[in-house]
Amino acid sequence: MSNKGIGKGLAALLGNMKEEETIAEKSESAVSREIMNVDISLIDTNPYQPRKVFDKAALEELAASIKTFGIIQPLIVLRSGNRYVIIAGERRFRAARLAGLTSVPCVVRELTPREMREIALIENLQREDLNPVEAAEGIAELIKSCDLTQEEAAERIGMSRPVVTNLLRLLSLDKEVLELVRAGRLSGSHARCLVVVTDPEVQVYYANKACDNKMSVRDLEQQIQLYLGRKLIPTGARKEKQSKELKGFVNDMKRIFNTKVTILGGEEKGQIRINYYSNDDLQRIYDLIDSLRR
């Protein structure tokens, strides 16, 4: 994400460039712009930091750079008694420890808990390569924690309102779909195609189909349009008839296989989907099917 957005977001809380002089004079929360070296043993990580996992290889690369050039951009820390809590720069802090530094340059601030939370969320959204689901969850948390509108959140993180809205819509998808996005198997663009599908099971079906068949976004869009087009045909009576006829069959299969069973399709053709949740579970289901063949 662009540095332009970073400036807008952090300036709203900390003051930035020319605005900082005026803010520092008027606000008790912005105490000092002076950079000071702080003993690394006195610095604690931010408990509000939404990113819990840091890429080891990237940290080692940053640590090597710090050994050569030092820390170019100081950390922003909150004074807490005789200790300091990181507000911005946890990756630099972790890399500095890997590099063997005993102290790091810091700008010390006095912030409210809400400001602390907001800065951590904004930095995480703008300075890390988040997947679309992590970005959506971060924006949702920013809006909730800081009582912001979507417009205000978009301004803080340097995104357009439509981009923020589209990201937040991803959170309406089924958890299985979101996990595919987290794992990098399904792109954010593919996931956005599924938002218009209201049935969670159908969302999962098309998400898996897109992954298994390596479908392009355009191909998935066409599949979804065909599905929605069939739904728009007045087939309420046929759907009701199908559900009555197949309900007992599905329940029997759930009982036999002791797992979730889904039927997708119409009266003439379709698919039976049997869920499994581990290799052992798959082997159990296979053994059951094999026993039915004998």
pLDDT tens, residue by residue, 129-152: 788 999 999 999 999 988 889 999
Lowest pLDDT segment from 14-23, 41-50, 106-115, 178-187: 14-23
Give residue 48's pLDDT. 61
80 near 41, Cβ under 8 Å? Answer: no
Lowest pLDDT segment from 39-43, 117-121, 178-182: 117-121
- Of 21, 25, 61, 90, the catalytic one is 90
Asked whether residue 180 is assigned to any structural domain, the reply reads no
Give me 161's structure tokens.
């309102």
Domain boundary among 133, 167, 201: 167
Measured between alpha carbons, how far is 255 from 263 in angstroms, rounded to an integer? 15
Residue 79 has pLDDT above 90, yes or no: no
Asked whether residue 270 is assigned to any structural domain, the reply reads yes
Report the CATH number that the domain containing residue 125 is assigned in CATH. 3.90.1530.30
Number of structural domains in the chain: 3
Give residue 291's pLDDT. 77
Are 25 and 162 members of one domain? Answer: yes
Asked whether residue 176 is assigned to any structural domain, the reply reads no
Torsion of CA 197, 200, 206, 211, to 10 degrees: 130
Are 157 and 142 members of one domain? Answer: yes
Give me 190's structure tokens.
């593919």
Asked whether residue 203 is assigned to any structural domain, the reply reads yes
Give residue 278's pLDDT. 78
Measured between alpha carbons, how far is 223 from 229 in angstroms, rounded to an integer? 10
Q: How many CB atoms lie within 10 A of CB 146?
A: 17
Give me 124's structure tokens.
């995480």
Are 31 and 127 members of one domain? Answer: yes
Are 100 and 218 members of one domain? Answer: no
Asked whether residue 268 is assigned to any structural domain, the reply reads yes
Measured between alpha carbons, how far is 269 from 274 in angstroms, rounded to an integer? 17
Give residue 220's pLDDT. 93
Listed ranges 19-28, 109-118, 234-243, 281-290; the one with the highest mean pLDDT: 281-290
Give residue 290's pLDDT. 76
Are 116 and 213 members of one domain? Answer: no
Residue 256 has pLDDT above 50, yes or no: yes
Asked whether residue 174 is assigned to any structural domain, the reply reads no
Are 20 and 43 members of one domain? Answer: yes
Q: Supply the range of the domain harboring residue 127.
A: 3-167
CA 184 to chain centre: 11
Are 65 and 152 members of one domain? Answer: yes
Model pLDDT for residues 90-103, shown as the tens digit of each residue: 889 999 988 888 89
Give me 154's structure tokens.
């978009």
Are 92 and 135 members of one domain? Answer: yes
Asked whether residue 173 is assigned to any structural domain, the reply reads no
Give residue 64's pLDDT. 92
Are 282 and 194 members of one domain? Answer: no
Asked whether residue 157 is assigned to any structural domain, the reply reads yes
Give residue 49's pLDDT. 66
Give me 135's structure tokens.
């970005």
Residue whose pair of structure tokens reads 């890399």 in the numeric block: 95
| pTM of the entire predicted model | 0.49
Are 139 and 22 members of one domain? Answer: yes
Lowest pLDDT segment from 26-35, 48-57, 119-128: 26-35
Are 49 and 128 members of one domain? Answer: yes
Of all residues in the chain, the percent with pLDDT exceeding 90 is 27
Assess whether 20 carries a catalytic annotation.
no
Of all residues in the chain, the percent with pLDDT exceeding 70 is 77
Average pLDDT for 195-207: 91
Are 26 and 130 members of one domain? Answer: yes
